[in-house]
Chains A and B, each alone.
Chain A
Amino acid sequence: MSRSIDQDLGRFKEIVRGKVRQQLRKYISNGEMIGRKGREFVSIPVPNIEIPHFRHGEKNSGGAGQGEGDVGQPIGKGQGDDQDGNGQAGDQPGGHVREVEVSLDELAEMLGQELELPRIVPKGKDTISAQKDKYNSINQKGPESLRHFKRTYKNALRRMIASNDYNVLKPVIIPMKEDQLYRGSKSIFVPQANAAIIYMMDVSGSMTDDQKEIVRTESFWIDTWLQSQYDGIQTRYIIHDAAAKEVDEDTFYHTRESGGTKISAAYEVARKIISTEYPSADWNIYCFQFSDGDNWGEDNKACIKMLTEDLIPHCNLFCYGQVESPYGSGDYMRELNKIANQHENLVLSEIPNKDAIYNSIKTFLGKGK
C-alpha cells in the first residue's frame, strides 16, 4: 500500500536532490544531527527546506532562559540564521548539539545515499576465502552462554498454556530443562576481499591547521565509506616534507614540520609498503594523497615516473586532493593533470575550503572502484 507520506517524502527528496523545482534549492538548509564515533563527532545530514516568512533578525533579539550563570555569561553562539520558535517560549540561540550513537555502517549507508555513491566491486573476491562461524541454527543442547532466551521462553509459555498452568493475572513463566534451546554454529567459507588505504600528506611548513582539518574530515568519510564496502581494511599513514616516513594515525594529523617538499619520497615509502605487504593481486589498494600542491620543482619528473610505473598500476584508485593554502603554489596539480587522461584510476580534486569536501568525496569515490 502506498501511503501518502511516502509520496510527500519522495517529493521532498527529489527537491533536495535538485531533480525538480530547482528554484527551491537555495532554501535548503543543511541541518545536521551530531553523532559520535569514539571521541570524534560526526554529523548526520538532515536537510530541510525553509519556506521564507517575515521574521525578526538576530540583531537586538533575545529570549528568556532558565539556569545558573552570571550576567554577561555567554550561553550560545549566534547562527546568522535564527530558528523559528514556533510557539515555543523564547527563541532558540545557537545550534543545539544533539548527540547520537551511530554505527559506522549506518553512517556509510547515509553517506552513500546522500552522495549517490556506487557500490564498489572488489577484486580478489574469488581467490581468497576465509572461514567464518555463523550462528544460524538452533540446537537442543548447548552451553548456557548461547541459550536462545526468547525461544526458550516461548517454548515454556507454550507448554504452560497447554498444561493450563498459565495465569493471565500472574504471568509467571518458568522454563524447564526441556524448554531450553540454544544457538548453534556452522562453519562456512566466505570469499573475502581485503583493502588497504594509504594516506599520504604533506606536512611541510606551508600546510596550516585549517588544511589539516580538511584532510582529517575528508579522510574520515573516506574511511567510513570504504569500511562499509570491505570486510577487512588496513590503513597506513605516510607523512613527508623533504623526507618521508610512515607514522600512526595520531602523528599523521598532528605533525608539523618545516622544510621543503619532496613528494617522490612519500611515493617511495608507499611503493615499499605495497610491494612488501599488499600484493596487488589479492588486495584492493587505495592511495589518497593530500598536499597544497607545492613540490620541489626538479622532483616532479621523478614523481610522475613513480606514479605511473609503480603506484597507479597497483592501485584501485589513486586520489590526489589539493587543499588550498595561502603559501602553496598549486603547481603539482598541473603536472598531474597532464597525465590524468591516460590513467582511469587517477582521480584529482581540488578542495579550496570545507564546503568543497562534499564534492571532493563524490569525485573520489564516485567511480565505484
Chain B
Amino acid sequence: MAISTYRPLPSELADIQAEMEGHAADYGLDFYRTIFEMLDYEELSMFAAYGGFPTRYPHWRFGAQYDELMKGYSYGLQKIYEMVINTDPCYAYLLSCNSLTDQKLVIAHVYGHCDFFKNNAWFSHTNRKMLDQMANHGARARRYIDRIGHEKVEEFIDACLSLEDLIDMYSPHIQRTPSRNKTLMPNELKPRRDDKHLEGTRDDEGADEDDDGEHHAARFATKGYLDPFVNPRTAIDAEEEEIKKRAEESRARRSFPEEPQRDVLLFLLEHAPLQPWQHDILSIIRDEAYYFAPQGQTKIMNEGWASFWHSTIMTHHGVTDADFIDYADHHSGTMATSRNRLNPYKLGIELLRDIEDRWNKGKFGPEWENCDDMQTKMKWDRQLGLGREKIFEVRRVHNDVTFIDNYLTPEFCIQQNLFQYRFNEENDYYEIASREFAAIKRQLLDSLTNHGRPFIYVQDGNYKNRGELYLAHRYQGIELKQDYAQDTLVNLQKLWRRPVHIETMVDDKPRVLSFDGHTHESK
C-alpha cells in the first residue's frame, strides 16, 4: 500500500541537498546514503506518530499521538520541520511547506543526525534494516488480530507497553550471562574452539566442565580388578540416583534468576506462561524498545551534534543575505531555553562548542586542573587546535550520561546559567534549589541515568517456591509513584498469571506491593 504520494525532490531542493551533502562531507561527517522525501503536514504527523515507521503494528496510541500533533499544528502551537530515522540508507522526511531557508537548515541538520547514527557507538547494535523489520512486526501483529480478535490483541499489547521500559539498555553491548540469555550462533562457537587448537593449549578444563560440576557417588580407591567388588555397581547406582534426585530437588527449590536481572521483558519471554502469539507480540515490543533505546540515551548529544553542524555549515556556507533573518529566527527558536526544562538542543550544542574551544586552547589535563588562578585560566590558550578532532571522538564514544559526566565544567554551568531545582512538598512548587556545580551535575546525571526512571530488577521468579514473581526497585531516594506502580503490577500479572510483587521503599521503610489477580496488597 502506498503510504504517501511519492514526490521526487524538486530540482532546487536537490541542488541544496547536493550542496549540503558536499559541505558535510568536507567537514568529515560520515553518513549512509540519505534519501529525502517531501511530506505534507498530515503525512509528517503520521510518520512522527509512528516514530518514523509508517508500517508499524496498529495501535491506538499512534492515533493519540497523531491527534496531538495535528491539533498542535492546526492551532499554531508546534511544528515538526523534519524527521530522520536511523536506517541504512537513512530516510529523512521534510515538511513540504518549509521555506527554502528552513529546508537548507533542516537538510544540514539531518546530515548531522545521519553521521551520528552511523558513528556513535551506542547505535552500533541497532538494526539498520529496521524499516523492513517494523513492517514485518506489523504484518505479524495484523495476522494475530485477524485470528484472535482486535480487542484481545490490543489489550495484550497495552499490558506489554506498560512494561516496555523494563529492558537492559546496556545489554546489546555486554554479554551478561553468555550461555542462557544469548543462544550462541554456531559460527560464533566454532572459531573459539579452533583458536584453542591453534594455540596448542591442552583442553584440560574441558573434562571437568563436562559434568557441569555435579557431584558423583564416592568411590573407594582400589586397584582396577578389585573395583567391581569394592565399589559394587548396584550400590554406586543407588547412590548416584540419590544424588541426582537431591540435586534436582534443590534445583527446583532454588530461586532463579541467580543474579537480579534487568531485562524483565527477556525474563518474561523465557519464563512466563505465554501463548505463542503472546510470546511473539512481547518479543516485538521488546525488539522495538531496544531499537529506540539509544535515541533516548543520546538525545542531548544527537541534537547537539546535529545543531552544531547545521549552525557551522549554515553560517559558513549556506546562509545568503536573503536567508539571514529567517535563519537566525529559526535557529534561535530551536535554541530557546526555559527555566522548567533543559533544552537538549541548547545544552548539546553549547557543550560541544565548549569542548571544541577547550581542546583548541588546551584547557584540559592536570596543568589546567591544578591551576587556581582565574585570570590565568581566562587567558589560557596553548593553541593546540585539537578541538575538531576531540568532538569527533566525543560523538563516537559517548552517550548523554558519560558526556555530561566527563565534560560538564563549573565554568560552563556559570556561563550557561544552569541551576538545580527540587520539588517542595510544603507549597507544592518546584523551586530553584542550588547553583552549585556539584548539585547541578549530580541532578543532571540522575535524570539522565536510565532516563530518570526507576531501576527495576527481577529478583525471584519462584518466590516462596510458589512460582510467584518478585521484582525489586533499587531505591535511590525517590519513591515510586504508587498508583502507577499498582496499575503496572496489574499488567504484569496479566503476563505472569501467578501473583506478582515489587519491593520498594515508602516513607523510608521497605514495602512490598503485591497483586494476585484480584486484590492489591501492600506490606
Contact = CB atoms under 8 A, between A and B. Distances in A.
Contacts of A92: 340-341
B429 A54 contact: no
The CB with the most chain A CB atoms within 10 A, among B49, B340, B478, is that of: B340
B444 interface: yes
A93 B432 contact: no
A9 B478 contact: no
B282 interface: no
B266 interface: no
A56 B481 contact: yes
Contact of A48 (B68, B448, B454, B485): B68
B456 A48 contact: no
Interface in A46-82: 46, 48-49, 51-78, 82
Interface in A97-120: 98, 100-102, 106
B419 A78 contact: no
Interface stretch (A11-19, A147-155, A200-208, A302-310): A11-19
Interface in B450-498: 451-454, 456, 473, 477-485, 487-488, 491
Contact of B421 (A3, A48, A65): A65
B418 interface: yes
Contacts of A77: 428-430
Contact of A54 (B62, B75, B456): B456
B63 interface: yes
Interface in B287-326: 295-297, 299-300
B422 interface: yes
A58 B425 CA distance: 9
A59 B165 contact: no
B59 A76 contact: no
The CB with the most chain A CB atoms within 10 A, among B3, B341, B423, is that of: B341
Interface string A252-269: 000000000000000000
Given A12-B61, A54-B473, A24 B433 contact: no
A11 B67 CA distance: 12
B473 A74 contact: no
B343 interface: yes
Interface in A134-188: none
A69 B75 contact: no
Interface residues of A, number: 68
Interface string A84-103: 01111111111010101110
Contact of A89 (B67, B347, B456, B482): B347
A4 interface: yes
A9 B63 contact: yes
Contacts of A55: 453-454, 480-481, 484-485
A57 B340 contact: no
Contacts of B337: 66-67
B416 A62 contact: no
Contacts of A339: none
A12 B61 CA distance: 7
B102 interface: no
B406 interface: no
A332 B420 CA distance: 55
Interface of B: 1-3, 46, 49-50, 54, 58-64, 66-68, 71-72, 74-78, 151, 154-155, 158, 161-166, 295-297, 299-300, 337-344, 346-347, 400, 416-425, 427-435, 440, 443-444, 447-448, 451-454, 456, 473, 477-485, 487-488, 491, 502
Which 3 pairs show the lowest CB-CB distances between chains A and B? Answer: A8-B63, A12-B63, A52-B487
